């Protein structure tokens, strides 16, 4: 048994409270309709096990054995964060910890981050990048097996990049420790490498693919935006990913990297800091989703001003790139680019995902659309729109509730009163629900 697996097995966390057998009525004062981006009045959700079987107007509980009373609250579909990093959390010690912590240390920490994410109302996440391994596959399996509390995870495992690029796990190390990471580490330098990297990820059990066509902020490379994968490499990655049923997310700040990623056929552009009219037009033509991650940009820009929080090279890039993402997101919305919600959680402290809604509204994005981006839009990006993102018959009973109207004051989404995932209650009356194992 590996130390990482032992870490999961020894971790004792809240297990949630599964509802008793029989049909359950969840009565809601209001319900957000993600398909129309409007607010319904009093409604009742009828649950059969882990799915919704019926939606009734009014507080109508007839023919059910159990009632969950949320009649003074607003119910919404469980939120989806399409860009997280549950295996990490940045800080002033992060660079040193890369040389001192083991996989089991990150595994224990990830269980805490996963729980915080679920308690923040995010019942599903797409995890886009591990520490050079596929540790989040184990976290996903532990959550699915009931060993750990957390959101439903669709993980890309380790990101795929180029030698010395944003995905290279040895960036910033002393030369004697850098070595020459290869395909087994997610590092490619040819079309042939690209195909093999996807096949290795498939073998290792991931759900999606994350690629690194451009430089980034938190590595110690000189550029945060230069192109780092060729168009041919991107096409090879995407073509092979499609063979295995994977969607492909592309980390891209610079315009040329964005252009190549879109032409290469990726499903989403992450961050997209330097999107311009041409690249936005290209994304619309190809139906490419945009995942802004405004929270990460705002956080790194703020912390870059704190002496010693980041290495000098990182701080310089954070001040250049971070402050621009919010304005880019607003322009993309006005241009008609499809937006899915993502925060880059892990770049900032986990559990604060809901702040992204306020930043989106601050960019000029209506609260109703921001909510759609975290429900039906994100579910569509993940290709799970038949199961997630809507409180309608047939969908998972992923239900959260807040006091107040998030369409009038989106900040209420930072105070989640109730969380249910697949018919199991994890939070009620604003507090976690504990069940002893």
Let me know: does 270 contact 287? Beta carbons within 8 Å: no
Q: Which fold does the domain 9-78+387-432 belong to in CATH? A: Urease, subunit C; domain 1 (2.30.40)
**Exposure of 234 in the CB half-sphere (CA atoms within 13 A):** 28
The gap from C-alpha 408 to its chain's centroid, in whole angstroms, comes to 25
Give CA angle at 118 (321, 53), nearest 5°: 120
Please report the DSSP string for 88-117 in residue order: ----TTHHHHHHH--HHHHHHHHHHHHHHH
Distance, in Å, from the CA atom of 227 to the CA atom of 217, rounded to the nearest integer, reads 14
Q: Which CATH class is domain 79-381?
A: alpha beta
Low-confidence ranges of the chain (pLDDT < 50): 1-15, 436-437
How many CB atoms are located within 10 Å of the residue 306 CB? 10
All residues at 6 or more sequence positions from 267 whose CB lies less than 8 Å from its CB, including other chains: 247, 248, 249, 288, 289, 381
Looking at residue 15, its pLDDT comes to 47
| CATH topology agreement for domains 9-78+387-432 and 79-381 | no
As given in the structure block, the two tokens for residue 183 are 């395909």
Distance, in Å, from the CA atom of 372 to the CA atom of 390, rounded to the nearest integer, reads 9
Looking at residue 102, its pLDDT comes to 86
Whole-number Cα distances in Å, 74 to 80, 87, 186, 225, 403:
17, 32, 43, 41, 6
% the chain with pLDDT above 70: 95
SS3 call for 240: helix
Distance, in Å, from the CA atom of 76 to the CA atom of 90, rounded to the nearest integer, reads 30
Nearest to 380 by CA among 34, 26, 56, 132: 34
Let me know: does 330 contact 298? Beta carbons within 8 Å: no
Whole-number Cα distances in Å, 422 to 185, 194, 394:
34, 36, 11
Let me know: does 291 contact 239? Beta carbons within 8 Å: no
Tell me the domain boundaries of the chain: 9-78+387-432, 79-381
């Amino acid at each position: 048994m590996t130390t990482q697996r032992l870490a999961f097995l020894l971790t004792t966390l809240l297990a949630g409270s599964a509802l008793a057998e029989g049909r359950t009525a969840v009565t809601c004062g209001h319900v957000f309709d993600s398909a129309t981006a409007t607010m319904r009045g009093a409604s009742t959700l009828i649950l059969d096990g882990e799915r919704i079987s019926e939606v009734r107007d009014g507080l109508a509980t007839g023919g059910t054995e159990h009632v969950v009373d949320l009649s003074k609250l607003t119910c919404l579909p469980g939120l989806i964060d399409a860009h997280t990093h549950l295996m990490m959390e940045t800080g002033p010690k992060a660079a040193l910890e890369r040389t001192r912590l083991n996989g089991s240390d990150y595994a224990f920490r990830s269980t805490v981050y996963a729980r915080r994410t679920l308690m923040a109302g995010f019942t599903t996440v797409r995890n886009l990048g591990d520490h050079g391994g596929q540790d989040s596959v184990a976290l996903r399996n532990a959550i699915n097996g009931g060993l750990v509390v957390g959101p439903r995870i669709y993980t890309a495992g380790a990101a795929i990049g180029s030698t010395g690029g944003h995905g290279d796990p040895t960036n910033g190390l002393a030369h004697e420790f850098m070595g020459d990471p290869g395909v087994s580490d997610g590092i490619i330098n040819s079309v042939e490498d690209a195909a093999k990297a996807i096949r290795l990820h498939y073998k290792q059990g991931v759900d999606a693919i994350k690629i690194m066509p451009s430089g980034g902020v938190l590595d110690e490379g000189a550029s945060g935006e230069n192109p780092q994968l060729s168009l041919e490499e991107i096409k090879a990655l995407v073509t092979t990913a499609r063979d295995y049923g994977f969607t492909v997310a592309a980390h891209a700040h610079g315009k040329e990297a964005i252009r190549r990623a879109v032409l290469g056929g990726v499903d989403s552009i992450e961050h997209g800091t330097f999107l311009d009219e041409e690249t936005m037009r290209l994304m619309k033509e190809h139906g490419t989703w945009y995942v802004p991650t405004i929270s990460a940009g705002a956080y790194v820009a703020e912390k870059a001003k704190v002496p010693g929080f980041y290495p000098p090279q990182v701080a310089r890039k954070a001040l250049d790139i971070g402050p621009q993402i919010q304005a880019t997101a607003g322009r993309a919305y006005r241009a008609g680019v499809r937006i899915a919600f993502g925060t880059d959680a892990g770049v900032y402290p986990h559990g604060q995902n809901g702040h992204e809604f306020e930043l989106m509204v601050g960019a000029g994005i209506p609260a109703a659309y921001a909510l759609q981006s975290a429900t039906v839009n994100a579910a569509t990006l993940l290709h799970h729109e038949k199961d997630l993102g809507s409180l309608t018959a047939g969908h998972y009973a992923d239900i959260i509730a807040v006091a107040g109207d998030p369409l009038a004051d989106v900040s209420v989404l930072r105070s989640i009163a109730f969380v249910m995932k697949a018919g199991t209650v994890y939070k009620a009356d604003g507090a976690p629900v504990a069940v002893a194992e």
